[in-house]
Amino acid sequence: MGWTRKILRVDLTKGTCKSEPLNMKWAQDYLGQRGLATKYFVEEVDPKVDPLSPENKMIMATGPLTGTPVSTGGRYSVITKGALTGAIACSNSGGFFGAELKFAGWDMVIFEGKSKKPVYLAIEDDKAELRDAAHLWGKTVWQTEEIIKKAHQDPQTRVASIGRAGENGVLYACIVNDLHRAAGRSGVGTVMGSKNLKAVAVRGTKGGGAIKDAKAFMQAAAAGKKVLAENAVTGQGLPKFGTQVLMNVINEVGALPTRNHRDVQFEDARKISAEAMHEKRPTDGKSHLVTNAACFGCTIAAAAYPSSMRPTSAWSTSRSTGARRAVSNTRPHGHWAQPMALATWRRCSMPTCSATRTATTRFPSAPPWARPWNCTSWAF
């Protein structure tokens, strides 16, 4: 299939970038980007490694279909020991970044060690080098991508980066590529930040990997797209609403992963459905797909919030939305990551609640979205 048969190994501690051949036996035995990268990871990393230590590795991987005309051919995966879960993480994302990495001639990039200072990786086909990222540290992913593209003088450069969350150790931080696509599971952005790696910028001009029978491949790709186009969900729902439409499908079969609705339909799924995401908010008239400036999780606003104005009470009510939010200028509480000084977000431990000691017992006024998720009993 579409392998370039080459991987890039980046030693952040030494500041080196080296090419090595892809293990084609593993590529045949372990399916796709997730399977192959996981094989590399388990062979090279101690299972007891601390996710945020230099000994943990992070792999950005493409698969045999990445960069080809098939559906989902633009995706890439990030494989590491996740900061949030402490288990092997595989977080994938769409957009253009994955295909561009393949077009540059690389099947995957393996990051190891930790840089002494903030850096970003710049890849232009066979050329790969680590560059200083001191001027990017503290920037948002949107600012970072804009600055890097201007520096490279090429609008086709694709960028995957972390923001302030990844830099500050938020355990569920994402890696964002192409401005709005995210590898968002298991805290892969946190691992990236722990290595002082701010971003990866890729520009490729080589095209995808070699396909043995291009004509048969294109026929199969066209047939697959026809099936997707004729399906109500993939042909109509996804183009209009995006992947959020799957919320409706999952709920229809009683598989929505909520603690109280494992085998039945969730009657309030409509409030978090794809249609709901496109409805207008009464606060600012924009759809729920657009970030609300009043959102308590906005780290940009938090960082700009003057210390003299930071509330010290356990709970505060937003004047713009009326929503209650947890605030503290001393320390975080519980697994739901209460802000510390409203700028630094971290996760801390809390004993698992028993059936008689529920989340509402510990936080009687906490709204449902602010209750710890490790409780065995939930009282909504």
Q: Please tell me the class of the 6-203 domain.
A: alpha beta
Do 68 and 211 contact (CB within 8 A), yes or no? yes
Q: How far apart are CA 213 and CA 118, in angstroms?
A: 44
167 residue type, one letter: E
Q: What is the per-residue pLDDT for 335?
A: 32
Task: Read off the pLDDT of residues 28-71 as tens digits, 9 standing for 90 and up.
Answer: 999 889 999 999 999 999 999 999 999 999 999 999 999 888 88
CA pair distance 349, 176, nearest whole angstrom = 27
Nearest CA to 105 out of 201, 4, 212 is that of 4
Written as six digits, the tokens of 175 are 């890696």
CB environment 134-155: b (16+ within 10 A), e (fewer):
eebbebbbeebbebbbeeeeee
Please tell me the total number of residues recorded for the chain in this structure: 380
Across 222-237, average pLDDT: 88
DSSP 268-314: TGGGGSHHHHTSBPTTTS-BTTSPPTT-TT-HHHHHHS-GGG---SS
Q: Among all chains, which residue has been given the structure tokens 């086909």? A: 125
Q: Yes or no: say if 137 and 198 are a contact pair by the CB < 8 Å rule.
A: yes
Select from 60, 97, 93, 63 the least CA-distant residue to 79.
60
Residue of 373, 340, 371 whose CA lies nearest to 168: 340
Please say if the pLDDT value at position 368 is more than 50. Answer: no
Q: Are strands 119-124 and 197-203 parallel, antiparallel or unpaired?
A: parallel
Mean per-residue pLDDT, 324-340: 34
pLDDT of residue 258: 59
Cα atoms in the 13 Å half-sphere on the side-chain side of 179: 7
Per the model's pLDDT, the better-predicted residue between 136 and 297 turns out to be 136
Cβ burial, residue 373 (10 Å; 0-12/13-18/19+): exposed
- Nearest Cα residue to 270 out of 260, 262, 278: 278
pLDDT value at residue 168 = 95
Q: Where in the chain is the domain with CATH 3.60.9.10?
A: 6-203
Does the structure show a pLDDT above 80 at 223? yes
Extended strands (E) in the chain: 6-11, 16-21, 58-61, 76-81, 88-93, 108-112, 119-124, 127-132, 158-161, 175-177, 181-183, 197-203, 315-317, 324-326
At residue 358, does pLDDT exceed 70? no
Residue with tokens 């493409």: 62
Token pair 């199969």 is found at 220
pLDDT at 200 > cutoff 50:
yes
d(CA 111, CA 372): 33
pTM: 0.69
